[in-house]
Every structure is written in C-alpha cells, then in structure tokens.
Structure 1
C-alpha cells in the first residue's frame, strides 16, 4: 500500500512539474470534493447549479412563452399542460419562474461586481493607511450601516425611480458597508505581517503592497461574505419587486409575481407558493454554499 501511494505521489509530482495546469485542475477537483463532502454544502451547490442551468437554458426548459397570455385559461390550477398553473392573465407560472431565474442572477451578478471591488477598496485603504483616511471612510460606513438596508434601498429607489437597474444600484449602495468592514479587519491583521514588512523593506510602493499583497489575502474572506450576501440581495430584490419598485411588468420577477398573486392567494395558492418557494430555496442555497466555502477556505480546517 505504501509503495502504491509513493508511485501515485511521484506520478502527481512529475505531471505537476511538467504541466502547471495539472496542479490547478487537481487542486480544484480536490477542493470541489471537499466542498461536496458536507451534505448541506452539497445541497447548496446543487441548487445553485440548477439555478444557473435554468437561467442559461431557459428557452429549452420553459414549456411556454412567459409573456404569452391565454385568457381562456386564466388562473388554471396545476396540470400536465401547466405544471405550476397559470396566473391572472393565463401566463404559465412555471415558465415565468424559469425566466425569473435570469432576472435573479442578473441582479446578483451586477450587485456583486459593484459591491466586491468597492468594499475591498474602501476597507483595505482604511485599514492600511489609518489616520484621517480610516476616520473618513469608517464614518461614512457607519452612516450607511445605521439605517436598515431595506429602508435605505427603498429611499434610493424612490429617489431614482422604479426599475430593475435602479433597484440594482440601490441594493449595491446598501450592501457594500459590511464588506468594507470585513476588509478593514483583515487589513489591520495583515498590514504588520512579516511578508508585508518584507515587501516594504524591498521598496514596494504603498499601492503595490495594498493591491498585490493585502487585497489578495483578503479575497478568501470576502468571497465567503459575498456568497452569503447573495441571499440578502435576493430577498431585498424580491421585496422591492413586491412593492413595485424593482423589475417592472411584464418582466417575470419572483417578488413581483408574489405581489400580483396575493390578490388571488385564497383561491389560487400556486401564484404565491411557487415563487415564494423559489426565493426561499435559492436564498438558503447561497447561505449553505457560503458556509461550505468558509470551511473550505479556512486554513485552520483540514
């Protein structure tokens, strides 16, 4: 057994030495297996993967045109023809849910690419430079954190006007402060570490130290935070859509679907049940995935 293990390790070393890509692929496979070893994390991965598949292959998965109205089948109950029933305009609820996954991923993607760099930049600069830079950035952060995120998002959307893009901007404005706080805490821990001091002694500029060393070391914690923050983004977007301030009709959005279906909730339960279940499952999936990534990226765990 020991000889076989030595042969496998030697084979891996030879392949890794001659092909660096082999090392990256092997590490990715090993990390993915470790992530899926936990049943809860694996459940999160599966649900997020299904969401991606639904968004990418929506025309192939949807059974009907999500915008097509059929007034002869208004509020039809779930059946073989319409798996999740129809809404008040005769539109297929299942197809609208499938296409609604595109809206959800669109919001998540835009909010993440705004919040991640902004929070990382503000947090690392605040923690590294300190002094008046830290005071100014953290006081601004405190102002944003002092308001409930949903109330603040409602205020920004009310000022900008209803719409999907305005909802994305409002959610991003209210989501960056926790990320900045986390980046600042990581930077305060890292700025006096040996490798940062060594880089400074070698003549590295403040920008190089900040972006080439500290920011890279902050990424694992920020990835976990952003992944878990996606659940909050989904709930906030659904709340704005429910209030009519997010995606506008006839665009299929899960929160807006619940808002229009609440008037028929007693006799047509599927109008609220299926979009609500989708929001709950996807939010739970991102939380489970974030927990798994935290365990995976934590150097204290094996």
Structure 2
C-alpha cells in the first residue's frame, strides 16, 4: 500500500507535457538561485531596477529636465529627496529616469555582443586551422587594449552620443565571449553525438546552429550577465568624460561629471548617482555568480 502511494505521488509530480517540464525546470532553478542570499539580493536589486525604469513616470516626483534656479543646490529635503543640482533639477527624478538609459545601454550591448561573440567563437573552434587563426588574431588585437581605452578611441572616431557609446562598448566587449565560445566548441566538436550527426550528413552550419550553439548558451549567458557590471562602469566612464549620453539626458556618469565641481559642498550631487552605479554593478555581479552556480554542472 505504501509503495503504491509513493508511486502515485511520484507519477503525479512528473511533467506530462513540454510546458510542464519547462515550468518545473524554471521552478527548480529559481529555488536553487534564491537559496544563496547574496544571489537573491542581486536579483532583487536587478528586478527593482527594471520596475523603476518601467514605472519611471509614476515614481519620479519632478520633471527630470525641468530647471529652477531658485532651487539650485538644495540639500535633500521633503520635497527633493536626494536634493537638487546646480540647475535646480531634482536628483531623485533624474536617477529614476537614468535607470532607463542604463538598461537601454545594457540591452543593446548584450543584443549586439552575444550573437557576435557566439558566432565568432563557435565558427573558429569548429573549423580550426586558418579560420581559427584569423579569428583569434583579430580577437587578440581587441583584447590587447584596455576596454575603456579602446572604447574611448572608438567614440573619438564616431563622435560623442549615446548610440555611438553603445557601439563602442559593444566593439570592446565581444572578444571574451568569443574566447569562451571557442573553448566550449573545442571540447564539443569531437564529442560522440557531434560525430554521429556529421556521419548522418548534417552540414557544418546545421551542426553549429542546432547542436554546438545550444551547448554554449549557458556559459555565454553567465558571462554576459557578469559583463553587465563592466558595461555599466564603461558607460558611466564615457558619460563622465562627456562622450556618452549628452546633456540634458540624466545619465548617471554624466551626473557625476557635472556635480564634481560642487562635490565638496554639495556631496549629494555625486553620492546619489555613484551609489546607484555601485549597487547595480554589484547586483549584476552577484546575479552572475548565482547563474554560474546554477548553469555550470561542473560547479556542483
């Protein structure tokens, strides 16, 4: 009787459709992800950033671009929670709308970098030989320069602006993704299931797209998540130097740049955006560590 009950309970918990299996896998992954309190804290901050960006018009207490010189350089108070800047603009509202710019940069860079790095790495690792040597030498050229210096060079060539900053950051971020995808592909290209697919007559494009790329996705996703902190810092650095988002856009790095002239007397001008950059960067790093533990079977 006990055996029958246990068998029935096990059968009822097993997924019967593809969607049930997906939801069960997502639930198990979420529980494992939240098991680590640091990862949970990082995920909470990232979700909070998404909500702030989504509901920015309702969360902002003032127009982020409205100037009022009569309220310039006011300390934090009940009306201006994080104080005002030299033009009387509300710092809190500018931080709220600045979250949209940060997520815009992260999303565009990730969309550009992920496919490029994955394509270069898998093609290089699968074919090897001259193709591998050519792709990896190009990758080495990009890696040999510090990312911020290379981004500065690209922005100087393209001109200042938010879109140009995104292109510059993307051009400096794809090489590590390509290196990672190549390393994964080198381990997979001689695997038994890859050889079996090749013997069945599958083309190289089919082998790469249908079998190798899905196996590399988990590692690439983890690396992209951990790269987001570097993307935020690079974007803030470009904004600080006046090469990223242009005034009056409320970009966090640009806010620090404009507030540094008054930082000794008006600390809130640089403290608020600096704290936002630090918290969001730390959150993506913590989330990346959790995803690595979840998606990398070798970490168990």
Cα distance in 1 for partners of 2:10, 2:209 equals 35
Q: Counterpart in 2 of 1:75? A: 73
TM-score (norm 2): 0.97
Question: What displacement does 1:284 show?
Answer: 0.5
RMSD over equivalenced CA pairs, Å: 1.2
Deviation per CA, 1:135-171: give whole Å up to 9, x if none.
1000000011111110000000001000000000000
CA 1:150/1:4 → structure 2, altered by over 3 Å: closer, same or farther? farther
* Gap regions ≥5 residues in structure 2: none
CA 1:131/1:82 → structure 2, altered by over 3 Å: closer, same or farther? same
Deviation per CA, 1:183-229: give whole Å up to 9, x if none.
00000000001110111011111000011100110000000000000
* Gap regions ≥5 residues in structure 1: none
Q: Counterpart in 2 of 1:223? A: 221
Question: What displacement does 1:88 show?
Answer: 0.5
Of 83, 86, 95, the match for 2:84 = 86
Question: What displacement does 1:301 show?
Answer: 4.5
Deviation per CA, 1:16-44: give whole Å up to 9, x if none.
22x32122112111101110110110011
Q: Counterpart in 1 of 2:11? A: 10
Question: What displacement does 1:8 show?
Answer: 3.1
Alignment of 1:120-269 (within 5 A): 120-269=118-267
Question: What displacement does 1:5 show?
Answer: 5.1
- Residue 249 of structure 1 aligns to a residue whose secondary structure is coil
TM-score (norm 1): 0.97
CA 1:256/1:4 → structure 2, altered by over 3 Å: closer, same or farther? farther
Cα distance in 2 for partners of 1:2, 1:152 equals 65
Of 26, 29, 35, the match for 1:28 = 26
Alignment of 1:103-114 (within 5 A): 103-114=101-112
Q: Counterpart in 1 of 2:95? A: 97
Question: What displacement does 1:4 show?
Answer: 6.0
Cα distance in 2 for partners of 1:178, 1:154 equals 19
Of 91, 116, 119, the match for 1:118 = 116
Q: Counterpart in 2 of 1:64? A: 62
Cα distance in 2 for partners of 1:3, 1:87 equals 71
CA 1:148/1:8 → structure 2, altered by over 3 Å: closer, same or farther? same
- Residue 266 of structure 1 aligns to a residue whose secondary structure is coil
Question: What displacement does 1:127 show?
Answer: 0.4
Cα distance in 2 for partners of 1:80, 1:232 equals 34
- Residue 162 of structure 1 aligns to a residue whose secondary structure is coil
Question: What displacement does 1:6 show?
Answer: 3.9
- 2:286 pairs with 1:288: yes
Cα distance in 2 for partners of 1:293, 1:3 equals 38
